């Protein structure tokens, strides 16, 4: 009778070991993908805030060139607010001499959804201009109501915002003094 020799061990994975490794990788991927999505959304919101801040700087430069008055900006050229004689231009046409590009006017989170075009595709900008300050002097903006006039500080004057709440259900607002905040829509 032959003596029993121990079998030589092969250097390979068993099916059970391979399944364990695959399941661990799947579990880790399931844990990390939501945080990566959240980080991407935060980065998009930060890029949007930067765009709005650049718009605020350009508006300030345009106002300085216009004897301290905010320029007349047509919020939606397809549906004009101002008469043609006012010579109000779109946000891009007004601010392009001050360094604003079409990339600046597009929020990274403003994407087409389910066959609907993005706000950038529809309006030429992801940002909605608020005409409250148009034609007003930078340091002396006043809101006119039926029987009262209210002075508004530049820190409270809202100039532009996202068309839709694309940042965790919030919109970014640009204020007259140049700061940008998140606001629930």
Mean pLDDT, contiguous 10-residue spans, the chain (185 residues)? 67 82 86 78 90 94 91 85 87 93 92 85 88 82 83 87 88 91 79
Q: Specify the pLDDT at position 101.
A: 93
Structural domain spans, the chain: 16-184
State the pLDDT at residue 10: 66
3-state secondary structure the chain: CCCCCCCCCCCCCCHHHHHHHHHHHHHHHHHHHHHHHHHHHHHHHHHHHHHHHHHHHHHHHHHHHCCCECCCECCCCCCCCCCHHHCCECHHHHHHHHCCCCCCCCCCCCCCECCECCHHHHHCCCEEECHHHCCCECCEEEEECCCCEEEECCCCCEEEEECCCCECCEEEEEECCCCEEEEEC
Model pLDDT for residues 43-82, shown as the tens digit of each residue: 888 999 999 999 999 999 999 998 989 899 988 888 888 8
What's the pLDDT score for residue 1? 63
């Amino acid at each position: 009778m032959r003596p029993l020799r121990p079998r030589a061990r092969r250097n390979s994975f068993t099916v059970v070991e391979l399944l364990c490794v695959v399941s661990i990788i799947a579990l880790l991927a399931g844990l990390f993908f939501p945080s990566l999505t959240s980080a991407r959304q935060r980065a998009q919101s930060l890029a949007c805030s930067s765009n709005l801040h650049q718009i605020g700087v350009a508006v300030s430069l345009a106002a300085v060139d216009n004897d301290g008055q905010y320029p007349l900006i047509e919020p939606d050229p397809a549906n004009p607010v101002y008469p043609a004689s006012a010579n109000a231009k779109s946000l891009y046409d007004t601010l392009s001499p001050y360094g604003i590009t079409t990339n600046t006017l597009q929020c990274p989170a403003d994407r087409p959804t389910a066959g609907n075009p993005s706000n950038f595709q529809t309006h030429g900008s992801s940002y909605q201009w608020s005409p409250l300050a148009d034609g007003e002097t930078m340091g002396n903006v006043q809101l006119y109501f039926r029987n009262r006039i209210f002075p508004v500080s530049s820190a409270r004057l809202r100039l532009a915002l996202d068309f839709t709440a694309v940042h965790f259900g919030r919109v970014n607002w640009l204020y007259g003094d140049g700061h940008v905040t998140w606001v629930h829509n």
